[in-house]
Homo-oligomer: A and B are copies of this chain.
Amino acid sequence: MDNAQRISGVLSPVVTPFKADLSPDLERFVRQCRWLLSQNVGLAAFGTNSEANSLSVEERIELLERLVGAGLDTARMMPGTGCCALPDTVRLTAHAVKLGCAGALMLPPFYYKGLSDDGLFRSFAEVIERVGEARLRVYLYHIPPVAQVPITLGVVERLLKAYPAQTAGMKDSSGDWNNTKAFLDAFAKSGFDVFAGSETFLLRNMRGGGAGCISATANVNPGPIARLFDAWQAADADAQQARLDDIRGSFAKFPMIPALKAAIAHYGHDAPWATVRPPLVALTAEQAKALVAELEQKTFAMPGLAGR
């Protein structure tokens, strides 16, 4: 697999639907993923916004198998596979590769804090060695506000040296453009694909040599975000970015995951979508109403969602 064939563009950390008993709703999940693909958005299933860390390894395996079984394109899939425990990460990553997924989005082991670069390098190296697949493409997931364990320039440098084919890129959810720029400047030219952690930085990331973005709000505003990826060199790119930022701003006023689900429930006429797993809490009826009122004012829409 050369770099030209690597996954790029806009990906969604697909929100995971739950039934009333809090078990994953496999059918709604497949329908949602199919809709996202129809909007030209790829599937970074099992990201932070997927409540992936509230799912067991077995649940993730079952959900991914259901997508593949439904005939969805594995070339557009970059499932999250990074867990606290080495054997879990190895198992999920090997499974994703076996199913033919384009990549694996890998959190660092995130329980123990203050890790050394050496420990972090060894963690990723052990996964790559144990999976033992030439076609594995690892995307390191840097999200210090949540994981509290950062991915450093030094760790990426060591991984690129030891595993140049497998060390494919990263998602930067630091929320700090200077950090994204530092990784772009250091590694983009050597074929390391940097995805911004939200569309807020999509245009800057593309101008800086990045590969796209993986964003929470790609769950609800997929088409327009994917359009900016396609048209980032167009004359109206900055205006497109401003419109994306405006929509994102409405979601950012609420807890993000419950807000995404509330919007899907509302615009999809599908109330069960609002369900979240503990420790998260769904929006109150008042919050959901306020979110929708604000989106209506901005003539926001989710085309094709209701009929999916």
Contact = CB atoms under 8 A, between A and B. Distances in A.
Interface of A: 22, 48, 53-59, 84-88, 91, 108-113, 115-116, 118-120, 122-123, 126, 145-149, 277-281
A25 B160 CA distance: 33
B84 A84 contact: yes
B85 A279 contact: no
Question: Which of A84, A120, A145 neighbours the largest number of chain B CB atoms within 10 Å of its CB?
Answer: A84
Question: Which of A56, A88, A146, A278 neighbours the largest number of chain B CB atoms within 10 Å of its CB?
Answer: A278
A278 B109 contact: yes
10 contacts: A22-B126, A48-B112, A54-B86, A56-B85, A84-B84, A113-B148, A116-B281, A119-B280, A122-B281, A149-B279
A281 B85 CA distance: 15
Contacts of A88: 56
A148 B149 CA distance: 11
A109 B123 CA distance: 22
A57 to B, nearest CB: 8
Contacts of A120: 279
B109 A87 contact: no
Nearest to A60: B85
Given A55-B85, A111-B146, A148-B148, 10 more contacts: A22-B126, A59-B85, A84-B84, A86-B277, A109-B279, A110-B111, A111-B147, A113-B148, A116-B281, A122-B278
A53 B146 CA distance: 17
A122 B53 contact: no
Contacts of A86: 22, 54, 277-278
B55 A112 contact: no
B123 A278 contact: yes
Nearest to A257: B112
B279 A122 contact: yes
Contacts of A22: 86, 126
Given A111-B146, A146-B113, A123 B56 contact: no
A149 B147 CA distance: 12
Question: Which of A85, A280, A281 neighbours the largest number of chain B CB atoms within 10 Å of its CB?
Answer: A85
A108 to B, nearest CB: 7
A286 to B, nearest CB: 15
A104 to B, nearest CB: 17
Contacts of A116: 281
A149 B115 CA distance: 18
Contacts of A109: 53-54, 278-279
Nearest to A125: B278
B55 A279 contact: no
B85 A53 contact: yes
A111 B280 CA distance: 11
A109 to B, nearest CB: 5
Nearest to A53: B111
